[in-house]
Structures are given as C-alpha cells and as structure tokens.
Amino acid sequence: MAGSLTSEQVESYERDGYLFPVGVFDATEAAEFRVDLEAFEDRWRDSPGLAHPFVQYLRDGMQVVSPAADRIARHPVVLDVVESVVGPDLMVWNCELLVKEPNSPKMLTMHQDHRYWGFGSSGDQITAWIALSEVTDANGAMHFVRGSHLLGDVDHHDTFGADNILSRGQEITVGHDAEDEVVVALRPGEMSLHHGLMFHGSGPNRSDMRRMGVAIRYVTPSVRQEVGGVDYATPVRGDCSGAEFLPLPVPTSDFDPDTLPFHERMLVVHDNTLGAGAEQPMAYDGIRPVRP
C-alpha cells in the first residue's frame, strides 16, 4: 500500500487502534495554520449574520466554510499518512476545530465515534487529530485505550453533561484496564490517528495555555451511511466516483455563499445521524443546534 508510514507503523495502528506521534507539519507551518484559524475565529465568532451558533460551524463541516480548514484537511503530507492505513481513495466526512480554553472545565467522556456516525460495520474510516498547540495531559490531551477497537461496538449511555464537549455526552458503559490507557501528548504539527471503535476521551484544561487541534474524519468511497439518509463528504484524493456520499464543494472564502447551502443540508443529515435514539436534543459545547 502506498503512503508515508512504515509497515511497522501500520501494524502498530492495526494492533493498538491508534498511532502517535506522527509529524506532519514543521513548527513554522503549524504556527501559520494556527494563526489562520484563530483569525477565522476572531472574524466570525460574534457575527450576527450566521444562521447557527458559531461553535456549530467549528464542530461540523468546517472544511466547507473555511478555506484554511480545507487546506489542512487536504494537505498532502496528512493524506499520505492516512493513505498508508485506509488506501488511496479518500474523502473528508467532517473537519472540526477542537479548542479547550485555559482553565476550562470542558472534557469528553470515554466513548467510541463509530457508534454515532451511522456507518454500520465498515472499518474504512479514521480520525486524524493534528495539534496546533502543545497538547499535554494538563491541558486536556486525549486518552486512548490500547486495543479497545478490537472489542467491537459497546454499549453507551447519554450523560448530557454541561461541560461535556460531545453532542450527547455519550459514554461507554464498560470498564477497561487502567494500564491500557495512554495519554496522547503531541507537539504543534504532530498528529495522532485513531480507529472509529477506539475508546477515547479527555479531561479538562487545568493549565493557563490554550489547547488547540484539528480533527479530520476521513472515509473511503466504500463507506455507506445507514442511519441519517444521503450523506455528504469532500473528495480529497484518488477515485471517489463510487461513493454514495454527495460531494461537498470547496470554499473560496470564509462562509462562501456557494458552499453554505451544501453545509446546511449536511448539518441536517449529521444531526439526524448523531442524534438517532437520543433522549434529548444534541448540543455543541453545551449549545443546542438552531434549526430554521
């Protein structure tokens, strides 16, 4: 298989369900991306003209409303790494900017992504999490549970915790050996990969430093949406002509008026998928989605 990882790294990912650290940007490039995304935040966080709370655009489909996020998601070094694991035909299902402000109580309960994405039994999906700041246990790094992806889908319950970043506060109901839990510490420009069935979560930011990263959810054209209806994704490499996902356009400016209608339709599908079976409406960082 083509790509930039060694066979030993791929075997490690397949065995453990994760791989880190993988260097993708040097310090200068990571700093430039951070400047671009923080400028995006500064320009738009208080804009009265957005149809949804600003955080919702950061958490769902950011590659459709931000050219800077799109550049990160299709960066050739990142794609080379992802290709090493899932093959050459790649689409971005979602891109998120994940920030924990200094001394923030925001956290994520231990959960699996796969259970809420609506992709059935397909394993042809992967999350690439790219650090744009130093990421430590003190400022809210993720924790992975080694080998947990081999356990399949496990039961979850919804907590809807006020400080939970997850849309439902979803949490696994099974325990795990503490010795299998690893802290995903990263430097700016380093990336982690994790499988959709990986048990993972993170604690609050107990530091005076802003923790900042971009999570990109890649799928292959073989993946099918089984819950939310016709879904959307951004083709970024290879031949994606066999995909059932409808292609998302690439923005040429912030909140490009040509891409916003696609983003709006995508949000409806994702809300239906992520919220299926929930007892309460979802929320993004405690803020409920707005629907016209």
Domain that holds residue 98: 7-274
| Three-class HEC string of the chain | CCCCCCHHHHHHHHHHCEEEEEECCCHHHHHHHHHHHHHHHHHHCCCCCCCCCHHHHHHCCHHHCCHHHHHHHCCHHHHHHHHHHHCCCEEEEEEEEEEECCCCCCEEEEECCHHHHCCCCCCCEEEEEEECCCECCCCCCEEEECCHHHHCCCCEEECCCCCECCCCCEEECCCCCHHHEEECCECCCEEEEEECCCCEEECCCCCCCCEEEEEEEEECCCCCCCCCCCCEEEEEECCCCCCCCEECCCCCCCCCCCCHHHHHHHHHHHHHHHCCCCCCCCCECCECCCCC
pTM summary value: 0.94
Query: Does 46 reside within a domain?
Result: yes
pLDDT at position 289 over 70: no
Overall number of domains in the chain: 1
Query: Does 145 reside within a domain?
Result: yes
Query: Does 286 reside within a domain?
Result: no
**Do 201 and 142 contact (CB within 8 A), yes or no?**
yes
> Predicted confidence band at 218 (pLDDT cuts at 50, 70, 90)?
very high
Strands 232-237 and 90-100: antiparallel
Query: Does 291 reside within a domain?
Result: no
Residue 26's CB: how many other CB atoms inside 10 A?
Answer: 11
Could you tell me the CATH number of the domain that includes residue 75?
A: 2.60.120.620
Name the residue type at position 259: T
pLDDT at position 287 over 80: no
pLDDT of residue 291: 47
Query: Does 20 reside within a domain?
Result: yes
Q: Give the model confidence (pLDDT) of 146-183 as tens digits.
A: 999 999 889 898 888 888 888 888 889 998 888 999 99
Query: Does 284 reside within a domain?
Result: no
Q: Give the model confidence (pLDDT) of 2-59 as tens digits.
A: 689 999 999 999 999 999 999 999 999 999 999 999 999 999 999 999 999 999 999 9
- How far apart are the C-alpha atoms of 149 and 112, rounded to whole Å? 9
Query: Does 90 reside within a domain?
Result: yes
Q: Give the model confidence (pLDDT) of 243-257 as tens digits.
A: 999 999 999 999 999
- Residue of 112, 93, 117 whose CA lies nearest to 228: 117
Tell the burial category of 47 from Cβ atoms under 10 Å away from its Cβ (0-12, 13-18, 19+).
exposed
Query: Does 1 reside within a domain?
Result: no
- How far apart are the C-alpha atoms of 236 and 74, rounded to whole Å? 6
pLDDT of residue 292: 40
Percentage of the chain surpassing pLDDT 70?
Answer: 95
pLDDT of residue 214: 98
**Do 180 and 146 contact (CB within 8 A), yes or no?**
yes
- How far apart are the C-alpha atoms of 33 and 1, rounded to whole Å? 29
Q: Give the model confidence (pLDDT) of 114-137 as tens digits.
A: 878 888 766 689 999 999 999 999
Q: What is the mean pLDDT of the chain?
A: 92
- How far apart are the C-alpha atoms of 89 and 79, rounded to whole Å? 10
Calculate ∠ Cα 68-167-134, nearest 5°. 50
Q: How distant is the alpha carbon of residue 77 from its chain centre?
A: 18
- Residue of 124, 155, 115 whose CA lies nearest to 233: 124
**Do 24 and 192 contact (CB within 8 A), yes or no?**
no
Mean pLDDT over 173-195 rounds to 95
Mean pLDDT over 255-260 rounds to 97
pLDDT of residue 135: 98
pLDDT of residue 286: 62
